[in-house]
A and B are shown apart, each in its own frame.
Chain A
């Protein structure tokens, strides 16, 4: 499968688009969506720029994934489901050269040029941090989570629920944890398997316990089963209480 470089929208141009799109409705945003922008260009070296048909395929796959939600703006409760659908569509279709995905201009392009309608469908409050291409970007976040968790992102836990937004935030916004992908997956598996009253609270305490150990202890040298044991041990301490 080919991998591509995506156009990068510089931050000043992204901010200008934010202002231009401020008052537009979802359908107006859909009409304004494009596969190019005068200020956006892919990195000059290092790979093949994504052709228009690839950009169109990305856009249509994401819109298709959000078809059931459209045109009703997502509520907070619907957000996690929508993120899972968007993450799946992006992993299957983006075919992005991995380091290119570390550039915020790429994600600004996706949320403000290629798919502004879906960006606002997911985040109707249009918060800047969701529409610009930083770590909390509407498309970057579910893509990164999917890269790390794979199918675990879809799996239902003991309580019948997939990982919720609060639980995912505990894993991914403590960046020292998430940078060890094995550890992030072990945490996700543990949270899904636990049988407690308040799973979000459990996830918060679990990630706190594990993070405390990382200073003097290198989890990256452990094999997957040892990582799972470490997380299980921390989980037992959390459920045992003070």
Chain B
């Protein structure tokens, strides 16, 4: 079958815009700075509004990509909801022909229109065809400028955005187990929040210490659990042959495991973990303890 050719084209430098911080409001609630990667208080009946300002030097932008006035450019906000398997343009505004422009972006997310986690990405795109030879952008939809990183926000989940659920593990035959980690390693592209569940035993005496973590014992339990979760996530991903790469989409199981592997443990591939388990397990185990900061 045929080969694929992708032509590069000019894009604009980051200096031509300044995308401002995101704010949110729930229903009639106050407008709040989106300082964390989660929104508290959202449920399926809540209307979520997101807003930000973007200042653009339109003249500099047009000149950098050599698109003169008269050719339409849009600032858009792309909303992506992997749990819904849906992505759409949540906001769109035309850019002027020249000068400085400050655009107030607003994204309305009606009740029941999102789930688990969304990501927001601001882009400047070419709205119509722009007949021009390479390397100038010419195709409708060409992305001329985009956020360096999309903003990923969890709307469902508890605690430190790690999915934790209280269940009675004694009913499953493990009365003395304090926690159980369930990792579905069948798909590296799956959202981390959906692929991983941490269950805390509701019938265990130590559960209050663990969940409140305000006592020395509680802090030790949290530390031990953090080490165990890190170890289990990496080892189970390695043994199952999870396909982990640095370019996987943010928020996916693959991206999280790769980040732990590379940034916390200093390995480049999961196959190294399998090899280390067989040959230098003591070194690997010490690395896990050190990376997790066990009891520090």
Q: Give residues in A with beta carbon < 8 Å to B.
A: 3, 5, 10-13, 16, 39, 43, 45-47, 97-104, 129, 132, 134-136, 144, 148, 175, 178-181, 201, 205, 208-209, 212-213, 215-222, 226, 237-238, 240-242
Contact = CB atoms under 8 A, between A and B. Distances in A.
A217 B199 contact: no
A10 B199 contact: yes
6 contacts: A13-B172, A39-B171, A102-B115, A136-B187, A175-B85, A209-B4
B236 interface: no
B187 A135 contact: yes
A129 B112 CA distance: 26
Contact of B2 (A45, A205, A213, A218): A205
Interface stretch (B25-33, B50-58, B189-197, B273-281): B189-197
B167 A12 contact: yes
Given A220-B89, A221-B127, A175 B82 contact: yes
Given A135-B190, A212-B4, A218 B165 contact: no
B80 A179 contact: yes
B143 A144 contact: no
Interface string B28-52: 0000000000000001110000000
A181 B86 contact: yes
Contacts of B6: 212-213, 215-216
B151 interface: no
A186 B92 CA distance: 23
Given A129-B186, A217-B142, A217-B143, A179 B87 contact: yes
Nearest to B196: A11
Contact of B172 (A16, A101, A129, A242): A16
B115 A242 contact: no
Interface in B56-113: 74, 76, 78, 80-89, 92, 112-113
Contact of A46 (B44, B113, B180, B199): B44
A39 B165 CA distance: 12
A219 B2 contact: no
B190 A99 contact: no
Nearest to A216: B143
Taking each of B44, B83, B171, which has the highest tally of chain A beta carbons within 10 Å of its own beta carbon? B44
Nearest to B189: A175
A132 B85 CA distance: 18
